[in-house]
Structure 1
Amino acid sequence: MPQHETNRAAVILAAGIGRRFRSAVPKVIHDILGRPLLAWVVDACRQAGIDDIVVVVSPAIREQVTAVLPDVRIAVQDEPRGTADAVSVALPFLPETGLVIVASGDTPCLRSETIATVLEAAASTPLALLTCRVPDPQGYGRIVRADDGSVERIVEHADANDAERAIDEINAGLYAFDLTALRNWLPRIGSDNAQGEHYLVDTVSMCREGDAPPRAVLLENPDEIQGINDRVQLASAEEILRRRIVDHWRRQGVTVHGDDVMIGPDVTLESDVDIASGVELHGCTHVATGTTIGRGCVLTNARIGADVRLKPYVVAEDAEIGSGAQIGPFAHLRPGTRLGRDVRIGNFVETKNIEMGEGSKANHLSYLGDAEIGSGVNIGAGTITCNYDGANKHRTVIEDDVFVGSDTQFVAPVRIGRGATIGAGTTVTRDVSPGALAVRRAPQKEYPDYPRKRKSSS
């Protein structure tokens, strides 16, 4: 019986071309919930305690995989000679002894708990593998068991006879090997089969030649091993993962309405958050307790404080919103937006690269960019910070307790002193002193009895 060291590694097989995707993008880097398909498998291995990971790819996709997963090692399988050959090209990257997981790169629904269970099963045998019973085993390798119930061999679908094809227990494509045994077995694997390839499943028969037969771990939920060969299967896997994440947060005390909410894998939520239908939460968004998120909001890398109310259709990217704030509806918070406590941003307001102090508000139809806005400031409807001169960006500074009338333009760089008042319709081109009133508009003229033009009655 092998004595395993603490070394744990993983080989992820991702050399498939994915022709049925009909895409210039390799199958394994297509997106699922904001993360490449292959990254889901890599992360599952890491969550199972494996940091030494090698991904096997074809030469055609090496650069693209490296670009999206720069922190994993890449082994290249020059020609598609089968799964055993793919594992062989990864061997030089692996430790001499210990355990190695072999997984498929197109199974994003695989759980870290399942990987850990298969690793645990390999503690007493050179080979443990995952199996599953499915209603339609078409295309899968079948598990053939001996009279004592142990795994005798795995027969690929193309090589199976009618009796073997009637078996509903399939090879799930996840293995845990003792590395010493694996290094001995791989050179012995031939290609005498219907595909003319070197099958990794041949190691099952080799394992039976030793003292400890292979151990099978039976998986209850076949969703975990769903492979992806086209965009229909991609959409199916995305829905499985979306539902898994939503249900996780529901169990943590988050209310999620409807079946169309998308929560990314790196999003974090506190209890008593309430999320309406059609919401999308992307990236490393964090939402604190007591916050309500209205229908159709899209948040990306946003940090939302406690007891915030996001009305419908707020879009926020790389933005921070302080506790008690009210945002929307139809507001756009662009990168660099930092809003303090109890701030109010209303409908059709766009912000970018601004800081806004406690209790300030911009309730209607404004653009606020490259600005520092103090506390207790009122921004009237139609206010614009004119921050770009055609070559460079400039900042507007509005100190505490300033009142800005409607239809004001700040031609940056300008500073508005504490407690100043800006009259409606003013174009501000110079600094305004604290406590002053600044008004700049054309004088009003009146023409009595003006003969207004009217439409012809004909």
Structure 2
Amino acid sequence: MKINERKMAAVILAAGRGTRMKSERPKVLHPIAGLPMAMFPARLARELGCDPAVLVVGHGAAAVRQKLAEECVLFAHQEDQLGTGHALLCAEPQLRDFTGTLLLLCGDVPLLSRETLERLLAYHETQGAAVTVLTTELIDPHGYGRIVRDGEEVLRIVEEKDASLKEKALREINTGIYAFEAPFVFEVLRTVGRDNAQGEYYLTDVVAAARSVGRKVCALAAADPEEAMGINDRVQLAAASAAMRRRINNALMRAGVTLVDPETTYIEPQVEVGTDTLIHPGVHLRGATRIGGGCTIEPGVMVNDCAVGERVHLKAGSVLEGSEVGDECAIGPMAHLRPGTVLAGNNKLGNFVETKKAFIGRGSQASHLTYIGDAEVGTGVNIGCGTITCNYDGVNKHKTVIEDDVFVGSDTQFVAPVKIGRGSLIGAGSTITKDVPPDSLALSRCEQKIIEGWAAKKRKSREKK
């Protein structure tokens, strides 16, 4: 039977306070590659076809619900923090009618791969087990529960604080990830006590409880211990972030993207990048960004929720947010495309150009020191240095329309609302407050006056003082 044909549910434990994070933010909302860490197991559950998927919340429950609400999960609340076994029991009402395989995930274990969980589920089914625990071996297993075996048989899982010296020497550890038979797991959980160092209901005690009624308990080792990394403090958060970054960057490089220095390139999981794109160090690509093929992205560029076309050159230090960039554009250096910017293609926006809610037609350019906001710019428009669309009157925003083939001289201000007709020329240093008809010349300079000898007289008067 294929995995997507099995009847599966998932519970994701995300109720802990995470005191070692020393943070007001719930631990499971701390970001890994730009996403709350609990989002990774929640999405894995969805990809595997788990229905329902239940997220157990506790500390900071309202914030966790808000962030994870769109991940197609149900929520259960753990009021008192009485251990992992108690947390799973809190999810029982949402799973009362469920019979099948229950996958237990942890909101602070974000690096698990789909392939590993598919192996776990397949092994659990072929063994006919009531409980299958995902394990791994660590060189330094301190702090983790140890797997106690008799040959291939799992006898029990012992927590660090309850382990003997011999048990602490074991290197195979419990990852906290399980496949259970449901509703069996809830039946045995109710028989588990909390006679242990923590005074909590240990989920690990389900192993002994299952064996006591003659049910089979299995363990499957994850090939890569890094997948089982739990996050308890900010040192581990940084390590997990670096691991996720390597995973993302390696996949992109194998797909034909060149990263000059992968260790200093920051790309979030949802980002798509086309082949033969070259990405320099210090680049941040975030959110639902899509980068086309054959692009060059120079150091220090930041792109958030943008669609970037083919053969685009993003120059050093530029920032793009919520924008669409057509093919064969050149942006920057140090340009800022704010939300609502649309470049039709073959555009040039140069040094210190800022745009916002602006459509810029094909072939139009603004090479430096310009602000284009709340504007519609046609094709073939040249916007000179220092041009400003004055779009805000202190209360409302107003639109500037510049039609095709307009030439705008340097140091021009368009006081919106204003429309510049096709083929017009705007003289440098003008402040345009009225519509300009097509094919016109518009000027608003004061008449230049020259007073010969004035500077010399001024110098002489200063010398006499």
TM-score class, shorter: over 0.9
* 2:180 aligned partner, one-letter code: F
- State the distance in 2 between where 1:383 and 1:338 align: 19
**Partner SS, residue 188 of structure 1:** coil
Counterpart residue number, 1:257? 260
What is the 5 A alignment of 1:149-228? 149-209=152-212, 213-228=216-231
Q: For residues 144-175 of structure 1, what are the alpha-carbon distances to aligned partners after superposition, in whole Å with 9 as ceiling and x for unaligned?
A: 111x3221111111111111111111111100
SS in 2 for 1:401: coil
Q: Contact 1:83–1:200 at 8 Å: present in 2 too?
A: yes
Question: Structure 1 counterpart of 2:49, which letter?
Answer: G
Alignment pair present for 1:414 and 2:415 = no
Note the residue ranges of structure 1 that are not aligned, 5 or more in a row.
none
Equivalent residue letter for 1:38:
A
On the 8 A contact 1:5/1:98 being kept in 2, the answer is: no
Give me the whole-angstrom Cα distance separating, in 1, the residues matched to 2:130 and 2:188.
11
Question: Which shows bigger deviation, 422-431 or 185-194?
Answer: 185-194
After superposition, the C-alpha distances for 1:160-199 in whole angstroms (9 at most, x for unaligned) are 1111111111111100011032132111111122222211
Question: 2:90 aligns to what?
Answer: 89
Cα distance, 1:7 vs structure 2: 2.4
Query: Counterpart of 1:362 in 2: which secondary structure?
Result: strand
1:91 and 1:121 map into 2 onto residues whose CA distance is: 24
Residue type at the aligned position of 1:207: A
For 2:230 and 2:166, locate their aligned partners in 1 and report how far apart those are by CA, in whole Å: 25
8 Å CA contact retained: 1:364, 1:380: yes
- Say yes or no: does 1:299 pair with 2:300: no
Q: Distance in 2 between matches of 1:240 and 1:321?
A: 31
The aligned counterpart of 2:43 is 43
Structure 1 residue 20: deviation in Å? Answer: 1.5
Contact 1:62 1:74 in 2 (8 A): no
Cα separation, 2, equivalents of 1:457 and 1:93 = 94
Letter in 2 for 1:274: L
The one of 84, 93, 109 equivalent to 1:107 is 109
Q: How does 1:32-431 map to 2 (within 5 A)?
A: 32-58=32-58, 60-71=59-70, 72-94=73-95, 95-123=97-125, 124-146=128-150, 148-209=151-212, 213-258=216-261, 259-431=263-435
C-alpha displacement at 1:233, in angstroms? 1.1
Letter in 1 for 2:146: R
- Find the residue that maps to 1:347 and give its secondary structure: strand
Q: C-alpha displacement at 1:75, in angstroms? A: 1.1
Give per-residue Cα distances to partners, 1:54-109, cap 9 Å, x unaligned. 11122x41111111111322211121222111111101111420111111211111
Q: Which runs of 5+ in 2 are unaligned?
A: none
The answer to whether the 8 A contact 1:314-1:331 is kept is yes
SS in 1 for 2:373: strand
- C-alpha deviation, 1:232, in angstroms: 1.2
Q: 1:92 is aligned with what amino acid?
A: P
Does the aligned pair in 2 maintain the 1:254–1:274 contact within 8 Å?
A: yes
TM-score (norm 2): 0.94
SS in 2 for 1:451: helix
Give aligned-pair identity as a percent: 47
SS in 1 for 2:419: strand
AA partner of residue 87 (structure 2): A
Q: CA deviation at 1:49?
A: 2.5
Q: Distance in 1 between matches of 2:174 and 2:345?
A: 55
Equivalent residues of 1:133, 1:168 under 8 A apart: yes
Letter in 2 for 1:67: Q
Deviation for aligned residue 1:207 = 2.9
Partner of 2:24: 24
RMSD, aligned α-carbons: 1.7
Closer, same or farther: CA 181–442 of 1 in aligned 2, 3 Å: same
Amino acid at match of 2:6: T
Of residues 261-270 and 220-229 in structure 1, the stretch that sits farther from structure 2 once superposed is 220-229
Large movers: runs of 4+ above 4 Å: 209-212, 452-458
Q: Which amino acid aligns with 2:40?
A: W
SS at match of 1:290: coil
Whether contact under 8 Å (1:263, 1:282) holds in the other structure is yes
SS at match of 1:45: helix
1:114 partner amino acid: T
Q: Is the 1:409–1:428 contact (alpha carbons within 8 Å) kept by the matching residues of 2?
A: yes
Matched residues in 2 for 1:332 and 1:86: separation? 47
Q: Which residue of 2 aligns with 1:10?
A: 10
- Structure 1: which amino acid aligns with 2:259? V
Return the letter of the residue paired with 2:111.
C
Q: Which stretch shifts more, 289-298 or 448-457?
A: 448-457
Superposed CA deviations along residues 205-240 of structure 1, whole A, max 9, x for unmatched, are: 233345652221111211111111111111111111
Distance in 2, matches of 1:149 and 1:368, equals 69
Q: 1:332 to 1:457 in 2, by over 3 A?
A: farther
Find the partner of 2:437 among 433, 440, 445. 433
The residue type equivalent to 2:119 in the other structure is: T
CA distance in 2, matches of 1:46, 1:284: 19
For residues 385-404 of structure 1, give each alpha carbon's deviation from its aligned partner in whole angstroms, at most 9, with x where no partner exists. 01111111110100000000
- 385 and 6 in structure 1: CA distance in 2 versus 1, 3 angstrom threshold: same
Q: Partners in 2 of 1:433 and 1:62 — Cα distance? A: 60
**Cα distance in 2 for residues equivalent to 1:418 and 1:412:** 17
TM-score by length of 1: 0.96
Q: Distance in 1 between matches of 2:83 and 2:412?
A: 69
Q: CA deviation at 1:276?
A: 0.6
Cα distance in 2 for residues equivalent to 1:90 and 1:384 = 58
